[in-house]
Structures are given as structure tokens and as C-alpha cells.
Structure 1
């Protein structure tokens, strides 16, 4: 979540409440977060020196506006250009896509290639599991359960194929990918 907050703050310095609205207005399409988790991530970014308080508004609440430091810019760039990690591939891919416009145009194709490589690897694992399941003899009493579990795997494979095609097409706009 910290990297998503860095991305939002790179677009424009914002207050805590602005960040909540930013999540609700767009980021929630691929990343859900409560106000408490946003606050904790914001505090962590402050403690690590990746963001700073740009200003404090005068008045009763003293609303703080945050901005990204040079260290935060480097952290964000390293995350964007690094290998998409974590168990939730869709969130990793869409997070990078959402903020891709913050990178120089020359850096965008390699990011999309990294996302595509991760999709290919995950799809290969799902396909291997599919092939392995074909070799199993499922007892009659578990066949109905196994059929629905297999349907979930089929969905995952179809979803990954769609995502792979979609990201390849997007990446081709920056130049053909090695396949």
C-alpha cells in the first residue's frame, strides 16, 4: 500500500483525507484499503523518510499535506521497475499500470514486460496443476466437489490468459515484446 500512496502523492501533494478520496475515486478499482490502513501506511512512509509534511493548514484541524521526498521517489521507481511480487498478481499488475504514466516513456515497456513475464510464470504453474489433476483418480464421493474446484482452476487459467493477451497488446504499443 505504501507504493500506491507514493504514486498518489507523486501525482500531487495531498492530505490524509485527499488520499482516502483518491483511493475511493480510482485506486479502489484494484486495491481496497480502509482509512486505518491508509493512516498506518502514511505513518510508516513518514517514519522511513519517504514522505514529508509539505504544509500544515492554519485552523482548528491543522490539516497536513504530504509530499514525496527524493528517497520516496527512488523507492517508488524501484517498485515500479522491479519484478511484480506478492500473491495477488492482478493487484500487482494493475497498480503498476495505474501509475505507469509517472515513469519516463522509455521505462514503460520494461515494466510491462515484467508484468507479462509474471503472468506467463503464474499461467505456467496453473497449466501444470491442470495437467497434474488430469492424472488423478478422484473417488466418486468427491467428484462433485472436484468438478467445482476444477471450474475455479479453469477460471484462473482463463483469467490469466486474458490478462496476458491484454498486457501484451498494451506493451506492443511501446514496441513488440520478445515472446
Structure 2
């Protein structure tokens, strides 16, 4: 979540309230977070010197607006251009895709192949599991349970194949065209 917040703050300085609204409006489609988890992430980023308070509003509550520091920009860049980690390829890929426009065009070209390589790796694991299950003996009393477990795997295979094709196509086109 810290990297997603850094990306949002690189777009423009924002308060915690603004960040919560941005998560609700757009980012929640690819990454969900509660107001409390956003607050904790802001505190961690602030303590680590990756963000700073840009402005404190008037009044007793003094709404704080945050912005990324130079160290925060470097951390974000390292995350965007570094290896894809975590157990879920989609959860690792979509935030990078969301912020890909923040990178220079030459750097973007390197990110998309890493995303496709990660999806290929995960798809390979699902295909291996699929092959093992093809020869699996299933007791009669578990056939219905197994059928839905198999359907879950089939969904994962289909979703991974779609994602792989979609990201390959995007990479072959050299990214997205100007939306205007």
C-alpha cells in the first residue's frame, strides 16, 4: 500500500482524506484499503522520510497535506522498475500499470515484460496443478467438492491466460496511446 500512496502523492500533494477518496474512486478497483490502514501507511512513510507534510491547514484540526520527498520518489521508482514480488501476480501488476505513466517511456518498456514474465510463471504453476489433478483419484463423497475446486482452478487458468494475452498485446503496441 505504501507504494500506491507514494504514486498518488507523486500525482499531487494530498491529505489523508483526499487519499481515502482516491482509493474509493479509482484505486479500490485494483487495491483496497481502509482509512485506518491509509493512516498507518502515512505514519510509516512519514517516519521513514519518504513523505513530508507539505502544508497544515488552519483551525484546531489542521488538515495536513502530504507530498513525496526525493527519497520517496526514489523508492517509488525502485518499486516500479524492480522485481514483481508477492503471492498474486494481478495484485503486483495492476498498481504498476495504474502508475506506469509516471515513468519515462524507455522505463515503461522494461516494466511490461516483467509483468508478463510473472504472469507466465504463475500460469505455469496453475497448468502444472491442472495436470496433476487430471490423474487425481477423487472419492465419490468428495466429487461435488472437487468439481467446484476444479472450477476455481479453471477460473484461475482462464484469468491468467487473459491477463497474459492482454499484457503481451499492450507491450507489443508499446503501451497505451494518448487518451485525448
TM range (shorter): over 0.9
1:116 maps to 116
2:160 maps to 160
Query: Structure 1 residues 3-12 or 131-140, which shifts more?
Result: 131-140
SS at match of 2:53: strand
After superposition, where does 1:1-179 map in structure 2 within 5 Å? Answer: 1-174=1-174
The runs of at least 4 aligned residues of structure 1 exceeding 6 Å deviation read none
Q: CA deviation at 1:16?
A: 0.7
Q: CA deviation at 1:138?
A: 1.1
SS at match of 2:136: coil
State the Cα RMSD in Å: 1.0
Alignment TM-score, normalising by the size of structure 2: 0.94
Structure 2: which 5+ residue stretches go unaligned?
176-180
2: CA distance, partners of 1:141 / 1:59:
66
Aligned residues: 175
